[in-house]
């Protein structure tokens, strides 16, 4: 089983980002996803910085995948996406259909990202014709759905692509044209001052009775809980999961990687270090029992 570092969903200062990945080069992860997936205005690192980081990480033996923006609206964003695909060399994580189309036209292998909305074996097979090599199911898809999908794929004579599941981190739940961080700080999106940079783990949102609920991260909304599928490792193995995705968090990432690295080599499932992912078990994503 491989470990991947998912794309950094938050906006960190340039030096912090570079330091994070310099450290990550020494971590026992096999795959590193690089690039901005949430907001095209976040430019602490320019495209050439990401490319340079990609080269350094590849030098350290990592497979580097460049991740695309989940919501593409502006012409400038399309232009950047075109350059990302043209950059060549590696795979792309396609997080919307624009990226799928560009990869398909240029014959670039891609990873189907979690915001791509693939829910069944036929859709997956169609995307494999277009160049999909690895698939990260959307957050809603748990063990039972993946088992059925895999069975249907194999029964139809097809083969699964590499399967990567989100094993650690806050789940990306929604995207909007609206920037919720700007809204919370009462500034216009076009004059946001890049304030996401002050919130390296997103901006906490709680219910009116003080229960932590969601995280605002620019145009993205995440669940509050840092989910952890470590204890479910035996089930993941049985499903043929090839890659465990760990989403970068502001603190404790080296420890989380070490934890999963130990776990993947152990026959025993590890102790829980994060929240139970309810989606995996076919229910609500969050814990609702303690909600009130």
Partner 1 sequence: MQLVCPAGNLPALQAAVDAGADAVYAGLRDQTNARAFPGLNFGDEELRQGIAYAHARGARVYLALNTYPDSARLAQWQAAVDKAAGLGCDAVIVAEMAVLDYAARAHPALPRHLSVQGSATTAPALRYMHERFGIARAVLPRVLSIQQVERLCESAPVPLEVFAFGSLCIMVEGRCQLSSYVTGASPNRHGVCSPAGFVRWEEHADGRRSVRLNRVLIDRFEPAEPAGYPTVCKGRYAVGGETFHALEEPASLNTLELLPRLARAGVAALKIEGRQRGAAYVASVTRTWREALDRYRAAPAQWRPRPGWQSALARHAEGRQTTLGPYHRRWH
Choose, by CB under 8 A, the member of 1, 183, 200, 250 that binds partner 1.
183
Is 179 known as a binding-site position?
yes
Contacts of 104 (CB under 8 A, 6+ apart): 130, 131
SS3 of residue 278 by DSSP = helix
Tokens of 231: 């204890």
Q: In the complex, what is the shortest distance from the CB of residue 92 to partner 1, in angstroms, rounded to a whole number?
A: 13
Of residues 192-211, those binding partner 1 (CB under 8 A): 203-211
Q: In the complex, what is the shortest distance from the CB of residue 32 to partner 1, in angstroms, rounded to a whole number?
A: 24
Identity of the residue, 254 or 291, whose beta carbon is nearer to partner 1 in the bound complex? 291
Identity of the residue, 24 or 118, whose beta carbon is nearer to partner 1 in the bound complex? 118
Contacts of 118 (CB under 8 A, 6+ apart): 112, 124, 127, 135, 137, 138
What mask, x for binding partner 1 by CB under 8 A, covers residues 106 to 145? Answer: ---------x-xxxxxxx--xx--x-------xxxx---x
Identity of the residue, 47 or 152, whose beta carbon is nearer to partner 1 in the bound complex? 152
Choose, by CB under 8 A, the member of 45, 53, 71, 108 that binds partner 1.
71
Rounded CA separation 127/109 (Å): 11
What mask, x for binding partner 1 by CB under 8 A, covers residues 222 to 261? Answer: -x--------------------------------------
**Of 8, 39, 11, 44, nearest in space to 196 by CA:** 11
Site of tokens 């919130």: 199
Is the Cβ–Cβ distance between 196 and 181 less than 8 Å?
A: yes
Q: In the complex, what is the shortest distance from the CB of residue 263 to partner 1, in angstroms, rounded to a whole number?
A: 25
Is 103 known as a binding-site position?
no
Identity of the residue, 80 or 257, whose beta carbon is nearer to partner 1 in the bound complex? 80
Site of tokens 């748990």: 142
- The CB density around residue 210, as the number of other CB atoms within 10 Å, is 7
Site of tokens 């102790």: 271
Choose, by CB under 8 A, the member of 4, 37, 68, 98 that binds partner 1.
98
């Amino acid at each position: 089983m491989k470990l991947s570092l998912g794309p950094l969903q938050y906006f960190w200062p340039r030096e912090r980002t570079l330091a994070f990945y310099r450290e990550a080069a020494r971590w026992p992860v096999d795959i590193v996803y690089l690039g901005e997936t949430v907001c095209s205005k976040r430019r602490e690192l320019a495209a050439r910085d990401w490319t340079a980081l990609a080269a350094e990480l590849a030098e350290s033996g990592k497979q580097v995948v460049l991740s695309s923006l989940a919501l593409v609206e502006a012409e400038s964003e399309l232009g950047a996406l075109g350059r990302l695909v043209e950059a060549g060399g590696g795979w792309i994580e396609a997080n919307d259909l624009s990226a799928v189309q560009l990869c398909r036209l240029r014959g670039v292998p891609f990873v189907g990202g979690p915001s791509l909305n693939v829910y069944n074996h036929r859709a997956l097979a169609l995307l494999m014709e277009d160049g999909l090599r690895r698939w990260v199911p959307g957050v809603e898809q748990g063990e039972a759905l993946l088992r059925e999908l895999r069975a249907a794929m194999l029964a139809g004579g097809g083969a699964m692509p590499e399967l990567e599941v989100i094993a650690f981190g806050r789940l990306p739940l929604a995207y909007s044209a609206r920037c919720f961080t700007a809204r919370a700080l009462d500034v216009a999106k076009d004059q946001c001052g890049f304030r996401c940079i002050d919130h390296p783990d997103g901006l906490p949102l709680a219910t009116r009775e003080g229960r932590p609920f969601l995280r605002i991260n620019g145009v993205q909304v995440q669940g509050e809980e840092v989910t952890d599928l470590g204890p479910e490792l035996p089930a993941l193995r049985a499903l043929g999961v090839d890659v465990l995705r760990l989403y970068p968090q502001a603190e404790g990432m080296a420890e989380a990687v070490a934890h999963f690295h130990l776990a993947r080599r152990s026959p025993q499932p590890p102790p829980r270090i994060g929240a139970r992912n309810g989606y995996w078990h076919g229910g609500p994503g969050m814990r609702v029992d303690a909600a009130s």
